Structure formats: C-alpha cells, structure tokens
Chains A and B, each alone.
Chain A
Amino acid sequence: MEIVLAIGIGVLTASGVWLILRPRTFQLIVGLSLMSYAVNLFIYATGRLQIDEAPVIEQGAAVPLADPLPQALALTAIVISFAMTALLLVVLLASRGLTGTDHVDGEEP
C-alpha cells in the first residue's frame, strides 16, 4: 500500500516538474495540475495510511483511526488549486489571444 502510494506521488510529481519546464502554456497547466494531484495525495499520506478506519471516533474507542485533519486539508487544497487552475486557464487564453502564440514568454524563441 505504502509503496504504491509513494510511487504514485513520485511519478505524478516527476511528470509535473518535467511538464512545467516545457515551453508551451498547455504543458504548464497540465504540469501544475499533475503536481497538485501529487501534493494532495501527499497531504493525505501525512496522516499515516489506514484502511477501513473511521475518521471520527467515539470517546474511548480503540485506535487506530484515520486522521481526519489531513483529509480536511486536502479538501481545502483541492478547492484552492482548482480555482487557481481555472484562473491560470483564463490568463493563458488571454495571452494566446493577445500575443498569437502559446509560448510561455509570449513570443517564439
């Protein structure tokens, strides 16, 4: 379980980093999205991995429990990165419209 998650986060991050270093705006936005998926999984993993456990338990119930805080954090982070991606998409389209190129510098090298 841990190894699958670790490899998943690693592959997503590596692909994201490679993509944001590419020169096209579309690659940039896909790269940032992939990286935000990786980060959300990572936050989720910081509460330790538990399978089939309740996040909120009764007083005195047995541990282990799934840590609820990282889940709440991941939820907030998802919403924020979604909004930022939408905004970036608008700027990307405006840049494409005004400069006539999809290069991140607004001009072909």
Chain B
Amino acid sequence: MIALPWTDHLIVAPIILPLAASGLMLLIKERHIRAKRAIAAVTISAMLAIALVLLHGAATAPAGGGAAIRTYLLGNWPAPFGIVLVLDRLSALMLAITSLLGFTSSLYATARWDQAGPRFHALLLLQLMGINGAFLTGDLFNLFVFFEVLLAASYGLLLHGSSTPRIKAALHYIAINVATSLLFLIGMGLIYAATGTLNMAHLAVRIHAIPDGDRMILDAGAAILGLAFLVKAGMWPLSFWLPKAYSAASAPVAALFAILSKVGIYAVLRVSLLVFTPGISSDAYFASFWLLFGGLATIAFATIGVLSSKTLSGIAAYSLMISSGTLLATIGARDGAVVAGALFYLVSSTLGVSAFYLLIELVQRGEIDDDALAPVTEPVFDDEYTGAVEGSDDAEIGVVIPGTIALLGGGFMFCALVLAGMPPLSGFISKFAIINGLLGSSGAIPMSTWILLTLMIVSGLAILVATTRAGIDYIWTPSNQAQAPLRISEAIPVGVLVAVCLGLLVFAAPVMRYMEQTTRSLADRSNYSSTILQAPRVQSAGDPL
C-alpha cells in the first residue's frame, strides 16, 4: 500500500484533533480544571501550528494551476461520490484566523471564565472543529453538518455561565438558527433536485448543463441557501438577533463568535463565486444585486446602531455588523480587486472585533459586579464542581499592575482605530484597498458604488464617535472603584491580537499579494473543479480500480 505523505494528513488534522481532545476532556472530572486547560492549550497550539504550516504551504505554492488546491479524500472514494476536504488559499487563511482566535479565547478564559460553568474547554474545541470543518469541506451537505456542529457548540458556549439574560438570548438564538438550518436543507434539496450533485466542484461543472426547465428550481434553491448563509452573516433585515446574542455571551465566547458571522460570509463567497458563473444566466446578476443592496442596508442600519448603543458590547456587535455589511456589499460589487481588499478587511476586522470584545470586559470590570460570574443554577452534572477550584486562591491575588489603565486605554484606542478604519492601522489599509479597487475598475462608476463608499466612510466615523464617547466614559473619567487587577493571561491574548493587526500593517504588501492570489484562484472555477474531480486516490495492493 502506498501511503499518503504525512503532510497530506495535516489537512484533516484541524477537524480530528479538536474532536479527539474534546472527547478526551469529557472523561476527566470537572474539578481537574488544570488538566483540561493543559489539554486545551496543547491541542490549540498544535492546531495553530498546523494552520500556519498549511497557510505557509498555500502562500508558497506556485501561483498558476491547481498547485495551491489540495484535496483529501475521506474513505478514499473518488471525488464527486465520496466526501472530499479541500484546502485552497481561502480555506488556509480562514483556518489560520480560526485557530488564532481559538488560541486567544481559550487563554483568556483560563483567567476566570472557564470556571463559570462546566465543559467550557470541550465546547470551545468542538466549536473550533465545526468552524474548521466548514472551511475545509468540499460539498454542501457536509457544510450543513459542520454548520450544525459549530452551532450546537455555540449554543453551549453562549449559555456558558447560565445567567437569566444569557438564557433569554440563547432561546432566541437557538430558535432562529434551527429555523435557518431548515432553510439550508430546503435550499440544498432544491439544488440537488436540479443538478443531482452536492459536491461544489461537481456543481460548478454540472451547472452549465442544466435544462431550462430545471433552471428555476436551481435559482430558487440557491436563493434559499443564500438566505440561510445571510442569516449567519448578519445581513439586515436578518440580523436582529445578532447584537442581543453577542452581547449576552461571556467575553471569550463573544471574541470567538467574531469568526462565526465570517463563516456565513465565507459560504456566500465560496458558493456565489463557484456556482453563479457570470455568463450562464441572470443568476449571477440576481445574487450580486441582493448582496450589494443588502450589504448597503446592513451598513446603514449598523451605523445607526453603533451611534445609539449605550454599552460597549453593543458598539462591538454593531461594528461586527458593519464589517459584515461592508464585506457583503463588496462581494456584491464583484470585481477581482475588490474581493482581494475585502479579504484583507475580513481578517483585519475579525481580529479587531475579537480584541475589542476581550478588552471591553477588562475595561468594564470595575463597573460590573462579580455576580455575573457566579452560576445561578444548580449543578447539571453529578461531577460538576461549583466550589472554589483548588489552587485558584493564588491566582486571585492579582497585583494591580501600574499603568493597567494605560495598557487598557492604549489597547482600546488601537482596536477603535482598527475597527473605524482610520490611518495608520490595518483597518485603514484594507478599506483603502477596497476603495481603490472600487474606483479603479474601468468604465463609468455606478451610483451604488458611490453610495457604498459614502457608507463605508460614514460608518467608520460613527464607530470612531461611539468608541470615543465610550472611552471617555469608561477609561478617562476617574472611577471611585478600585481598578480590578489585570492578569497576564488576560493581557496576552489582547496583546497577541493587537500584534497580529500590527503585523498586517507592517507586512501589508505580502499579505495583499496573498489576497490577490486567493482572488485569482477563486475566480478560476474550471481549475478548482478539475483539480478536485481528478484528485488521485491512494492505491493499495488488492485494489481493483
């Protein structure tokens, strides 16, 4: 038997590793929190390393052809029939962001949040598994399955620390997402009925040979499927659940949820670029029309939301919606250069929002009672340990680091600038790349592009106004309460995210080159399809084929 080279098995590792680790954690009693933390730290560090290796592989692959597209045939069935994992430049990029956010959230949670309820680390790892799977899968049905995995884990994480507001928010969140999953299934069923396949690569080939009579079924299916993705992405008017759910979540969970709406964006981008090939029919125009105007409406709504938010978590949630809206509108505007800028913006805004969620809890700590941390419900599991965790007394005696407020204030300002897209930080460069792409396309610039530009700039200004106001309230105004101690394990994650944002700024040219290559390979549909459909099987001795 000729085995695969071990590097090929790395493609499946981002799914297998967290699944195995979280299964292992369920066997350990809840009071051995240190063992769980150690397992989580090792697993997530390994995932981060693997994601970086895969990202490096994708970045150094030759630009043309299918060199950057790697496939992994689960069960060794040939591509359109079996389940196939696909790693291309876009998935490698998303895997890296996911692992980074998982790393920072998990580290941040060890300061105190992982003791607020049972099974935090196991759920976090399952969440990462679902997100990674959604980025890696090559067919629509497994996209659905991984969506369900990540949603199921996100329900658990949202409920973590079960207080009344959290349960209220989670009830809405779960109901909306269960209904959305049904829409996903309906859309997928219609697409299967029209094309007879669910493999995305196969779909891109089959779509050229659809008889006119079935075209309407396909269009309806794609529209319903798109609706399901847009609920996840948080497009207005499908996004009223988002601010409430994200504000109710505990800080490390909300920081990880920053990537969840991007999973919806990823799915929209992947499916619309692959399936709605311009030139076949009016579908492409139909989809981009709704994305553009839906995105514009989302930015407008979220801009008003940011200005009217009274809480920091409200500002963060509406900033997230602004970033979703900007991404959807730029994908709808459909231009190679614009998608490259949009991907840069996606990375920068996701990291910015995530860091912001971590920071606001630190900033507000003096204002909020610690009651929020104490579980209000009785233990659910027999081995659930609600008393003090052994050894945690040492950790509780945190020293008030001199200049804590300066660190927090600096971080807060940094995040605000990244989110608002003000120079000189990465938010500005990515917005500049989008605007440059929008204006650089040849021919007359349509009215909608001008509206998009105006909204992008106005929304940045709104974020700046809102964060300045909140910053004055929370950081500048002297508080009569003693500043709560800032732990190292809380400062490092914020520092890491901020450092990566700075890295995006310093290495903007290579990052932008990677995004441009990603865009080119996304646009090359026939290459994507042929690479996946001709993925070689592993030959073994007694194999008849």
Contacts and interface: CB of A to CB of B under 8 A. Distances in A.
A46 B164 contact: no
B162 A94 contact: yes
B159 interface: yes
A43 to B, nearest CB: 5
Interface string A37-72: 001001101111000000000000000000001100
B431 to A, nearest CB: 38
A95 B141 contact: no
Interface in B312-357: none
B496 interface: no
A84 interface: yes
Contact of B182 (A36, A45, A99): A36
Contact of A87 (B155, B162, B193, B198): B155
B192 interface: yes
Contact of A42 (B145, B171, B186): B186
B148 A91 contact: no
A98 interface: yes
Interface stretch (B5-13, B173-181, B511-519): B173-181
B189 interface: yes
A39 B168 contact: no
B164 A98 contact: yes
Contacts of B175: 20, 28, 32, 88, 104
B190 A94 contact: no
A62 to B, nearest CB: 19
Interface centre among B148, B162, B171, B192 (most CB of A within 10 A): B171
A20 B175 CA distance: 9
B174 to A, nearest CB: 5
Q: Is the interface on chain A under 10, 10 to 19, 20 to 34, or 35 or more residues?
A: 35 or more
A84 B172 contact: no
Contacts of A70: 189, 192
Contact of B141 (A39, A73, A97): A73
A95 B167 contact: yes
Contacts of B162: 94
A102 to B, nearest CB: 11
A48 B193 CA distance: 8
A107 to B, nearest CB: 9
A20 to B, nearest CB: 6
B152 interface: yes
Interface string B191-222: 01100001000000000000000000000000
A91 B170 contact: yes
A46 B168 contact: no
B376 interface: yes
Contacts of A46: 189-190, 192-193
Contact of A20 (B171, B179, B192): B179
B192 A98 contact: no
A94 B168 contact: no
Contacts of A47: 192-193
Given A43-B189, A46-B192, A70-B192, A87 B152 contact: yes
A35 B141 CA distance: 19
Contacts of A80: 145, 148, 181
Contacts of B159: 91, 94
A39 B168 CA distance: 27
A38 to B, nearest CB: 8
B185 interface: yes
A98 B171 contact: no
A32 B164 contact: no
Interface in A65-109: 69-70, 73, 76-77, 80-81, 83-85, 87-88, 91-92, 94-95, 97-99, 104-106
A25 B172 CA distance: 10
Nearest to A20: B179
Interface of B: 141, 145, 148, 152, 155, 159, 162, 164, 167-168, 170-172, 174-175, 178-179, 181-182, 185-186, 188-190, 192-193, 198, 376-377
13 contacts: A25-B171, A32-B175, A35-B182, A43-B185, A43-B188, A70-B189, A84-B174, A84-B181, A91-B159, A98-B164, A99-B168, A104-B172, A106-B164
Interface of A: 20, 25, 28, 32, 35-36, 39, 42-43, 45-48, 69-70, 73, 76-77, 80-81, 83-85, 87-88, 91-92, 94-95, 97-99, 104-106
Sorted from nearest, which 3 A-B pairs have the closest CB atoms? A46-B193, A106-B168, A46-B189
